[in-house]
Structure 1
Amino acid sequence: MKKLYFLCLTVLTTSLSFGQVVINEIDAATPGTDMAEFIELKGTPNASLDGLVVVLYNGSNDQSYAAYDLDGKTLDANGFFILGNTAIITLPGDTDMGASNALQNGADAVAVYSANDTDFPDNTPVTSTNLVDAIVYGTSDGDDAGLLAGLGESVQYDENLNGTNDTESLQLNMAGDAYETKAPTFRAENDTAVCDLSLSSTSAVCDTFTPGATSDTYTATVDFSGGGTSTYTVMADSGVVDLTNGDPSSDATGTITVTGVAEGTDVVITVQDGGLCDLMSTVTSPVCEPSNSLPLYEGFDYTVGADLGAQANWNNFSGSANPIDVVSGNLTYAGLIAPTGESIQLDGSENSNIDSEITFTPVTSGEVYASFIINISDLSNITDLNDGGYFAVLGSFDARLWVHPDTDPVGTTYDIALTNGSSGSNFTTTKYNINEDVFIVMSYNVDTGAINGWVNPAGADLGGTAPTALLTDTDGSPNPSVDTFVLRQDSAGETPIMTFDELRIGTSWADVTPNTLSTEEFSADSFKVFPNPTSTGFVNIISNNNNATSVVVYDILGKQVISESLTNDRLNVSALNTGVYILKITQNDASITKKLVIK
C-alpha cells in the first residue's frame, strides 16, 4: 500500500513539474535566410526536462515535421532552455536545430509533450494527448483550424502583427495567458530584457556615375550606438562588410560600411549576437546618374598628387596606370574670373593611356559649351607630326580638341584643331608658345551637329555673346544627348606635358566665360558667410552691394542640395546633415565658391 502511494505521488509530482514548463518565446522569422530562429522554454531554474519532447507541426497538412527529445536536458540557472539555430547556440546544453530554416514561418505550431521523439515520427497527425504546452502561430497567415482544434488552442498568434516579423518574436506575457509580438528577449525575461545596441541613420553613396546604366556600385552605411556590450555578427545580403569605421563588438558607436553593392540592389544589413539583439537595417540603392547640374565649374580643389579619376563625379573609364594627377597652382586668363583650387597635369611621357570623365545633366537640345585653360610646357616627346593628338572631348567623342607641334621650330610652338573625327585637320594658322596660358572654348549643337571652337577670345567678348568661331566642324550624325566631358592622357607620341585648369561646362557662352566685373571687385572677399562652421540651421551671406544674389549648395559628391535666391541675406541649411559642402554664390552673372561646414 505504501509502495502504491509512493508511485502515485511520483506521477503527480512529475505531472506538476511538466506543467511548469511553458513555451516562453518563439522567433520563426529572422533577417536574411532565417539563421537566428529559436524556441525558448521556461520553468523552474535547473529543473530536469527528462521525459519531454518538442514537436514541430506543419500547417500544410497538420502533421509533425520534426521532434526534439529533451531527455538529459535541464533548464539553466535562470529557468530558460533554448532550441535554436547553430549561429545562436551559446550554452552546451542547448539543442541545435541546424544552420537555418529549421522552424517554419506559419501557419504552423510548436508543442511540448510528455513523451519521446520516437512517438512523433515525421507526418504524425496533430494530437493533444500528453500535451504540456503549445502555440499556433504564423506570419500574416490565415488561421489553421486543424492545428488550433488538434492542440486545443483558440488563438493563432501573428509574428508579423506589427509588420516587422524579421525583428520581432512571439513572447508569453507576464500573466502567462497570451503571446505578444515585440523585439526578441532571447534567454531573458520577456518584460525586462532589451538589446543595448541600436541601428540608426543610413546612407548610400555611388562609387561611380554612368549615365543610362545600372552597372555602377555604391557604398552603404548604417550608424550604430550601444555597441561594445556583446559579440556581434554583422552580415549583409550583398556587397562586402567593412568594420573599419566601427565594430559593434568593440566600439560604443560607429558606422558599419558595406562596399561594392550593385546599383539597383537594396542591401539588408543584419547584426546579431545570438541573444537579445537581432537587428536589421535596409539601405535603399541610390540612382547613380550624374548629379552635376549645369552650369558646372571645376576648379580641381583636391589634394595635390591625388588621382583625378578617384575624385567625386570623376571616373577613370579607360586605362588604369599613371592617372591624371592633381598639381598645385593655377592658370589664368585676362578678364576671366580668378581661379580657385588647384589644377591637373596630363603627361604623355608616362607612356600609358588613361581617360578620365566627368558627367553632368544631359543636354538634349541646343548647344553645350566647355571652356578651360591649358599650358603646354613640353612638346618634345610628340612623334606624331601629322595631327598630334587629342586630349579634350565633349560628349561621346563628338567634339575632340587636338594639339599639334609646329615643325619650325619643333618643340616650342603648336597649333590647335577641333574635329568630330579621329584625326586632326584644319589646324589654326596662329601658333601658340609653350609655357603660355591659353584659354579655349568649344561647343557642340545636339540639334545640328555643329562644332565650334574659340582660342583666346577677346576680353570684351567674355560673359556676353559668342563671337565668330575660329574653329568649325560638323557631326553628320548628331548625338541627341551630351552628358560627358573627357580628358585623355594618350601615348607618349601624342600627348604633351600640359597643365589643365578652370573647366566650365554650360549651355551658353556666358556660362563658360564669366568675366570679372568692371564696376566692382567680385571675389571671395565680396561676401561674408557666417557663422561658418554653423550648427544653428542657417548661415548669413552678406554682400558688398545690394544686387540680387543666388546661392547653390553642393555636397562633397557634387550633388546639388540647395538652390535659391536670397531675399534676406539668410540661407536655411537646417535640412543638411553634418559635413562639408560647397557654396556657389552668384551675382551679376559672376560666381565664386566658398566652403561651408555644418556641425
Structure 2
Amino acid sequence: MIKKILLLFVVLVSDVSFGQIVINELDCDTPSTDVLEFIELKSATPNFSLDGYVIVFFNAGSTSPYAGSLSYYAVDLDGLVTDGNGNVLLGNLQVSPSPSSIIPQAMIQNGPDAVAIYLGNADDFPLNTPATATNLVDALVYSTNTSTAANLMGILGETVSYNENVNGLKDSQSIQRKTDGTYEVKPPTPRANNDGSGIIYNGITTTYAPIAPLTEGQSMTVSFTTDANVSSDLNFSFTLSNGSFTASDYTGTTSVTIPTGTNTVSTVIQLLNDGVNDGDENLRITIGSVPAGYIVLRNNISVRVTDANYLTSSWGTPLNPTYGQIASTVPVGYYTSLEGLSGVALKQALQNIIANPAVVRAHNYGDIWEILKTADQNPLNNNQVWLMYTERAQTKIDYQSGNSIVGFWNREHIYCQSRGGFSDGTSSFADGINVWLPTGPNDILAGHADAHHIRAEDGQENSSRNERNYGVDYSGPAGNSGSWHGDVARAVFYMCVRYSGLNVVNGNPAQNPDGFIGNLTTLLTWNHSDPSDDFEMNRNNYIYTWQMNRNPFIDYPNLADYIWGTHAGEPWYSTLSTNEAADLKFLMYPNPANDNLTISGIRGGAVVEIYSCTGQKVLNEYFSDSIKLQLDLSSGVYFVKVTSDGKSTTQKLILR
C-alpha cells in the first residue's frame, strides 16, 4: 500500500510539472519581412525554470491525417526563467519589449502549422522529425487563413486550429491564450499578461563587443540597456567569473549605474594575458539582483576567451599532412612474428599481437575524453582538437557534457557501436591511465572504449553519420576533401583484426546482424589514396601508451592488401612496406588548381598518375625532372601519385 501511495504521489507531481508551461501568445505573421515574430510562454507559477523543455515548430505537410507533419525548427529552453507574471518571450531582435531568447528573422512560418512544447532537448527534434504526442506538454495549431492542419491536430490532440487573420488584420494582431485555455486574436501584448493585468517590467538586455571569440590581451565593452528610460538611478553589479576564468583574468568595473532619464550604460573590461598556456576559457556575464520592477533578459551570456599562448607542433593537420617527421615508437620485434605469413595465419598472428591478453589494456569510455584531447590535438594549436569529418579544429573545452550536440564535439565510433555490438559496453567514469581491465580478442565490449577507432568529431556530423557505411552511404559532409578517408579505413581494419566477430565486407550491409560494416572496396582504395601521415602516427604512438597495443595498419598500411586486398594469400614481409610518402619529395602547385598543374623537384624520370576520389585513374604521364599538366577534369577532389626510382608518394589535389 505504501508503494502505491508513493507511486500516486509521483504521478501527481509529474502531471503538475507537465501543466506548468503553456503557449500564451504567437505572432507568426508581421509586416514586411516578418521581423517582429515572437512566441510567448506562460507558467502557472512565476519565476519558473524552463530547464528540460523545448519548443518545436512543425510544418503541416500532407493534408491526410497523420502524414508528413515534420519539424522545421526547435529551440532549447534551458537557462530561461519566467518572470513575476509567469511570462517569457522569445522573438526577433526587433521585437519590443526585448525577448529573453532570440529567434532568427522570418523563422516562424505562417501555417497552417503548429508549435508545441515538449519535455526534452532540441537534439531530440532534428530537422524533419515527425510530430509526436510523446512527452508533449502543450500545443497550438494555427494558420493565417481558413486552412487547417488536420494531420497536426490529430497527432497533437488538438480540436481547434486558430486563424491569425480571422479579423483581416494578421499583420497587426496575434493569437493569444485566454484564461479558459482557448485562444483569441487581438493586438499583440508581448511580455505582458494578455488580459492587461500584472506587472509591467522594464527589461535589462546585455550586449558586448567585439563579437567572440576574444583573445587574451583584448578589451571588450559590455553594455546594458533597458526597455525604457529609468525613472531613478538603476544600480546593479555583474560577474564574469566562470570555472577557471577568475578575477585574476581581467580588470575593469563590474558595478554600473544607468542614470535617471536614460536607458543604457557601458563599461570596458580588459582581458589579461597571463603569458601562460592554460587553455581557452569561457567567461560568463551574469547580472546579479536588480530592483523590483526590472527583469534581466538573456542573462548568463557565455563569451569565449582564446588563450594567446598556445603551442604548435612541427607536423601538419590531416588537411595539410606531413610525412616522416613523427617516428614510430613501435618496440623492436613487435611485428616479427608476422614475417612470411599469409592468409588466415597472417590475420591470426596480427590479432595475437594487438589483442594479447597478457599485454593489452582496456579502459573506460570516460577515459576517452582525456585520450582524444591529446591524440586528436590540433598541431596548429594545442588548445584545440581536430574534428575528422568536418576537417576543422575546435577548442577542447567545447566537448559535449550535456544532452545538446549543437556547437559541441564528441566521441565518434568509426566502427559504430550498433554494428559492433558493444553499445555502452564500458563505464562512463574516467579512472585514468593507471587503471585498466584485462582484455582479449573475444572481449567485444572493450570496443566501446578502444581509442584506435574513436575520433573527436562535430556532434551534429557524428549524428548525421549514425551507422552508415563508408563510401556507399556516407562520404562526409558536403564539400569535404576526404582528408580522413585513410584514417577511417585503417581504423576499421584494426577493429576487424583486434576483435573476433567484427567484419568488413563489400556493399552496404544493414545494421543487423551485428558485426558487419562496409564498404571494403572503398576502404581499400582510401587506404592508398590517403596515406598514413604524421598526425596518425603521433596518434598511434600516444594511444599505445594507454592501451599497450598499436594500430598495425598505420605502421604498415599495406598489411590490409595482404589480408583483404590484391595481395591476399601472398606471404607478407616487412621489407615490402615502406613509408613511401616520407621518402619521395616533390612540389605540386597550384593547389587548389583550375586547369593546369605543375610538378617539380624530381631528379630524373618519373610517372605521375591522377585518381578520382572513387579510385578511377584519370591520367597517366611519364616525365623527367618536372612537368606542367593541362587538366581537362571536372571540379572536385583527386589524388596525385608520383613514382620515381622505385618510391612513390600521393598528395591530395582540389580542382576548382
Structure-1-length-normalised TM-score:
0.31
Q: Which has the larger radius of gyration?
A: 1
More helix by share: 2
Structure-2-length-normalised TM-score:
0.28
More strand by share: 1
